[in-house]
Amino acid sequence: MLNQENILVFGELLLRFSSTEDQFISKNHTVSLFPGGSEANVSASLGQWNIPCAYVSCVPDNALANNALQALQELGVNTTKTVLQGSRLGLYFLLSANGLTSGEVVYDRKFSSFSSLTPGTIDWEKVLDGHTWFHWTALTPALSENMAAVCKEALIAARKKGLKISVDLNYRSRLWDYGKQPIDVMPELVEYCDVIMGNIWAANKMLGIPVDEKLDRQTSAEDYAIHANASAKAVFNRFPQCKHIANTFRFMDNPKHNLFYGTYHTPDNNYISSILETNEVVDRIGSGDAFMAGLIYGLTSSNDGQEIIDKATSSGYKKLFVKGDFGDGSI
């Protein structure tokens, strides 16, 4: 994977409202606003690393959406393939400052322009033209059956055109509320993927891969690596198209603390990153997305498995010190 890739990222552009205090609604009535969304966050990092990248979403044609898209454009992301229709952007509310306490999130994504997409709206043959890599996440099929169908038509088109396909198995229980569970939807979609990123618990929840329920915060990195190796082996056996798997391991003991490391797996080898730890977290949101972007960067620039996982982990860790959803290009 050392040729220069031209990456297309698909997902919902969101606006994040977060408290500047411990309570979202407070006597000072102050909140901060950031553009975001998992896929937009990945695009933002790739753009800052000068990796050719386009972002396709669906947003209303208004000044607010244009402003959010402009934020990505200024980071080097091509947003010209985004569909302009509908009447509202999706929102989410982070009820504590920077996700440093409860990190509780309230979503307001129903009836957004993106979540109202239906199969046939996007001409995937045309949109994918000129790209060599397609990235999507489990957040999109979590929104509705229609969105799961849109993902499938994109994946069929991407596979037909020979693109490499990556997925982030990010799980948000509050999004899966239309009568389907991830295990009902995700395996069929993941069959198209060459690269799978997530963690051992997401692989269990979404793909049915076994996980030991006794694993917890006290489990050592060495033991987690053994379980990650077994999980990856099971994924490779179940999804033969997949050739690259990465997992994050992230633990917090208090609002400012984060322990962060990752594992990377191929059918033949397993790697674990250095263990990174801080008590000076600025903003937790987007660290997994920065890891995903770093993984793509690593896979497009190196054949060295250790270098690949170290790059992804470093990118995810350094996002912890950047306010907002987007990283600042540190790796």
Return the CATH number at 91. 3.40.1190.20
Number of domains forming the structure of the chain: 1
Looking at the DSSP assignment, which residues form a beta bridge with residue 75? none
CB proximity list for 76: less than 8 A, separation 6 or greater: 46, 47, 48, 50, 53
Residue 330 in domain: no
Query: Residue 259, SS3?
Result: strand
- What's the pTM? 0.96
Tell me if 177 is assigned to some domain.
Answer: yes
Per-residue confidence (pLDDT) for residue 98, from 0 to 100: 55
| Length in residues, the chain | 331
Domain that holds residue 80: 7-320
Amino acid at 260: F
93 lies in some domain: yes
Backbone angles phi, psi at 63, to 5 degrees: -65, -35
Residue 329 counted as domain residue: no
pLDDT (0 to 100) of residue 24:
67
Residue-wise pLDDT for 214-254, tens only, equals 999 999 999 999 999 999 999 999 999 999 999 999 999 98
Q: Is the CA virtual torsion 192, 269, 202, 175 positive or negative?
A: negative
φ and ψ at 260, to 5 degrees?
Answer: -140, 125
Q: Exposed, middle or buried by CB within 10 Å (0-12, 13-18, 19+), for 130?
A: exposed
Residue 272 scores a pLDDT above 60 = yes
pLDDT in tens, 181-216: 999 999 999 999 999 999 999 999 999 999 999 999
In a domain, 328, yes or no: no
The DSSP string of 180-203 is --HHHHHHHHHTT-SEEEE-HHHH
**Cα torsion 301, 304, 309, 313: sign:** negative
**Is 27 contained in some domain?**
yes
pLDDT digits (tens, 9 = 90+) for 18-29: 877 666 676 766
Domain annotation covers residue 76: yes
* Confidence at residue 30, expressed as pLDDT on a 0 to 100 scale: 77
73 within some domain = yes
Give CB contacts under 8 A, 24+ apart, made by 302-308: 302/2, 303/1, 303/2, 305/264, 305/266, 305/269, 305/271, 306/271, 308/264, 308/271
Amino acid sitting at position 109: R
164-187: pLDDT as tens digits: 999 999 999 989 999 999 999 999
What sign has the CA pseudo-torsion 270, 274, 275, 278? negative
Residue scoring higher pLDDT (23 or 330): 330
Q: Tell me, what amino acid is at 168?
A: D
- Evaluate whether 329 touches 311 at the Cβ level (below 8 Å): no
**Averaged pLDDT score across all residues of the chain:** 94
